[in-house]
Chains A and B, each alone.
Chain A
Amino acid sequence: MTLATRDSEDRIILAAALARTDLRPATRMQWLRELFARPAGRLAGQIAIVALLLAIWQFGSGRFLPHVWVSSPSAIFARLISWFVDGSIWIHLAATLSAAASGYVIGSVAGIASGLALGLSPRLERILSPFVTALYSLPKVALAPFFVIFLGIGVESKIALVAVTVYFLLLYNTLDGLHDLERSWASAYRIMGARQQEIIRHVLLPGVMPWIFSGLRIAVRYAFTAAVLGELIAGNEGIGFLIENSAGNYNSAGIFAGVFVLVICSVTATQIIARAEKAVLHWRT
């Protein structure tokens, strides 16, 4: 090998090495892409992002924005702990949970019953529909002061607010279900010789279950929201009261802590209903 050839060989090797360096950013992107495509990778990414956001929040509070205003993860956590430690949280938790739960049960039963009744009597439904639409268009919160005046400042007025909110949701879901049910199922049964009663029992009632459960699942969140709203507007206990109280005392940590508790309750309850939904509708593929 002459010096010249070795030189050009080196040059080739060097060129190749350089080319690979140019290639590297692209493969890095690809590597990242593949990493996040896998569920484990995604989860890691999410945890990383949440951790990052919390870190920024913690760091920024007091430095970029006044601590009084935005609080910080540590302060919020401390507030939460203090609530549990001195036991003050339990009364409020119980109040909100009982309001949400009772209202939910009353509202759903009434809503489903109304939905079925209207769905099975088309003429009645047609007559009542503008009335129902008008009532539904009203922001239900507007009823809160009425309930407080008639039922007092306690949990009853919140139950009423939750019940009314949930009622309309279930009413509409049930009605939609009855409307959207495959007409061919009922026709097939009719040809077999089924009477209207039997069609209702065998086809319509079981058939509308997916819609009813969907409504039940969605309504949980609204039940909690309505309970808290009622407490925000006029109340002396409950998570809403905790939030409003904290706001009145310029305690932003309290507000965030209250909202956090609310979210945990709401999400957990929704998951419970979602599990029940899966169990009952196990035939769904």
Chain B
Amino acid sequence: MLDGLAQDVAAERRVVLFWRVALLVAILCGWELYGRFVDDTWFSRPSLIFARIWTLAGNGLAGHVLTTLTEMAGGLVIGVPLGALLGLTLGRLPVVAGVVRPIIFGLYSIPLVTLAPLFIFWFGLDLTPKVILVAIVTFFLLFFTTFAGVQTIDRELIENYRLLGATRAELLRKLIAPACLAWILSGLKIALPYSLIAAVVGEMLLARSGLGFLLMFASQQIDMTGMFAALVILMVAGVAVGESINLLERRVMRWRVLSV
């Protein structure tokens, strides 16, 4: 029987936190002990891995992180505005939209990351192919989100505003722009993790720098410690991306003008 009593909720939180910490400690200790006393060739151990990360941090990690970040940012800066613009404009032309949408849908069904070799072929070794890849992936995602979003604007709401005497500018500012912001945000939520994946895929195929490169470099030398280090860094990057989305969402929600 659930009553939501405050003391029960707090107690539950403590129990959950305890078990989370316990689990983490157990995994790390178990791993460390196994590595130290049995065999650390294949799985390395936490102490070695963290030592390696520490070394890397003082010696070039920043450069790799910057590379990956630049690839992501570059692609997003291109893909988001283009995708959103096309989505918003096409979404409001139902006739054109009806014809064009299945085609764009068809194009999207191409797994975009598998085009990475093509872009590397076209643009060579450095950042450009990854930026293009991220840009295209982002473009499609933003396009679909804004396209679908624009079509859900309640016609009645627009009519109501018009009847109240809103000018086109006011309509745009108070009703349409905040809604657009919401769709762009939801598109970004999906696009950001994908941009990391696309950048990493590109780097794993051919690169001189970047987090994916770090991983592949270690793997080519069967340097398990290095590989796990790169893995941990990538995991942190992934979580950071997720958190930044949450942060962005909270920030944007604060400014957003409620259009009802």
Q: A–B direct touch, CB within 8 Å, in complex? A: yes
- Give chain A's interface residues, CB within 8 Å of chain B: 32-33, 36-37, 42, 45-46, 49-50, 69, 123, 126-128, 130-131, 133-139, 141-146, 148-150, 221, 224-225, 228-229, 232-233, 240, 243-244, 246-247, 250, 252, 255-256, 259, 262-263, 266-267
A127–B222 CB distance below 8 A? no
Which residues of chain B are within 8 angstroms of A145 by Cβ–Cβ distance? 204, 215-216, 219, 227
A137 touches B242 (CB 8 A): yes
Q: Which 8 A-B pairs have the closest CB atoms?
A: A137-B238, A145-B219, A247-B117, A225-B111, A45-B99, A139-B197, A138-B235, A127-B19
Answer yes or no: B85 CB below 8 A from chain A CBs: no
Q: Judging by beta carbons under 8 Å apart, are B114 and A243 in contact?
A: yes
- Segment from B102-110, B145-153, B249-257 that makes contact with A: B102-110
The stretch that binds A, out of B118-126, B158-166, B169-177, is B118-126
Interface string of B34-70 (1 = CB under 8 A from A): 0000000010000000000000000000000000000
* Complexed CA–CA distance, A95 and B107 (Å): 25
Which residue of chain A has its CB nearest to the CB of B99? A45
A123 surroundings in chain B (CB, below 8 A) = 12, 15-16
CB distance from B142 to the nearest CB of A (A): 19
- B131 lies within 8 A of chain A by Cβ: no
Docked-complex contact A130 and B20, CB < 8 angstroms: yes
- Are A142's CB and B212's CB within 8 A? yes
**In the complex, what distance in Å separates the CA atom of A213 from the CA atom of B110?**
22
A131-B23 contact in complex given A138-B231, A138-B235, A138-B238, C-beta closer than 8 Å: yes
- A–B complex contacts, Cβ < 8 Å, 24 sampled: A32-B95, A36-B95, A42-B99, A46-B103, A49-B100, A123-B16, A127-B19, A131-B23, A133-B239, A134-B238, A139-B196, A141-B200, A141-B212, A142-B200, A145-B204, A149-B224, A224-B111, A225-B114, A232-B116, A240-B114, A247-B120, A247-B121, A255-B117, A259-B114
State the CA gap A144–B113 with chains docked (Å): 15
Known contacts being A45-B99, A130-B20, A150-B42, is A266 close to B111, with CB within 8 Å? yes
Say how far A133's CB is from chain B's closest CB, in angstroms: 7
B109-A229 in contact (CB<8A): no
The answer to whether B157 has its CB under 8 Å from any CB of chain A is: no
Question: Known interface pairs A142-B212, A232-B205, A247-B118. Does A37 touch B95 (Cβ–Cβ under 8 Å)?
Answer: yes
Q: How far is the CA of A277 from the CA of B199 in the complex (A)?
A: 34
Chain A contacts for B99, CB-based, 8 A: 36, 42, 45-46, 49
Which bucket holds chain B's interface residue count?
35 or more
B contact face: mostly helix, strand, loop, or mixed: helix
Please name the residue on chain B nearest to A124 by beta carbon.
B19
CA distance A46 to B95 in the complex (A): 12
Q: How far is A212 from B196 in the complex, measured between Cα atoms in Å? A: 27
B120's nearest neighbour on chain A, judged by CB, is A247
Given the contacts A36-B99, A240-B114, A243-B117, A137 and B109 also touching, CB distance less than 8 Å = no
For the complex, is B98 an interface residue (Cβ under 8 Å from A)? yes
Find chain A residues with CB under 8 A from B230 CB: 142
A244 to B206, CA, bound (A): 11
A142 and B231 in contact, given A127-B16, A266-B109 (Cβ under 8 angstroms): yes
Point out the residues of chain A lying under 8 angstroms from B117, CB to CB.
232, 243-244, 246-247, 255
Contacts of B20 in A (CB 8 A): 127, 130-131
For B16, give the chain A residue with the smallest CB separation. Answer: A126
Closest Cβ neighbor of A44 among chain B residues: B99
Binary interface profile of B, 186-227, with partner A (CB < 8 Å = 1, else 0)?
000000010011001100110000001001100100101001
Residues of A within 8 A of B241 (CB): 137
Which of B24, B95, B120, B200 is within 8 Å of A139, CB to CB?
Answer: B200
In the docked arrangement, what's the CA distance between A252 and B24, Å? 48
Cα A109 to Cα B201 with chains together (Å) = 27
Query: A263 — nearest CB in chain B belongs to which residue?
Result: B110
